[in-house]
Amino acid sequence: MMKNLLKTAVVGAAVIASSLAMAQPAMASTFSWNVGDGVVSYDDAKNKFCVRAYDSEGARSVEVKLPAGGSTFTITDLNNYYGKPGGTCRYLNTIYSENTSLTVTARSYWGERGTWVDRGSKSFTT
């Protein structure tokens, strides 16, 4: 009987703890996402969102779209083939308030392939 009571208490505590954890406000996230011909990243500590086309193997480009006040905000990065080495970054704190959930969609281009490829989407919180 004592053993069953202890099990019930442990299960009850676990249910309460998980309920509280799920009820917490959205927490910001930091990520790095390889999109085939480049990388998309977000650094929460700096509120910095970056898009970078890889600087290798000819012409490469990465384009991402973010929602912005009912419209879409687009960032495109071109690689060193176009004379634009490095990435293209934006500080999102000038566009979005803290703890805003966003879904970014990406597509990329590689000159040898000669076509744009949709890379899907990824969600994160600022």
Give tens-digit pLDDT for 41-97. Answer: 999 999 999 999 999 879 999 999 998 777 888 999 999 999 998 999 999 887 788
**d(C-alpha 120, C-alpha 126), whole Å:** 19
- pLDDT band of residue 125 (cuts 50, 70, 90) is confident
Q: Give backbone dihedrals phi and psi of 64, rounded to 5 degrees, phi first.
A: -125, 150
27-125 is a CATH 1.20.910 domain? no
pTM: 0.73
Residue type, 25: P
- As a whole number, mean pLDDT of residues 16-22 equals 40
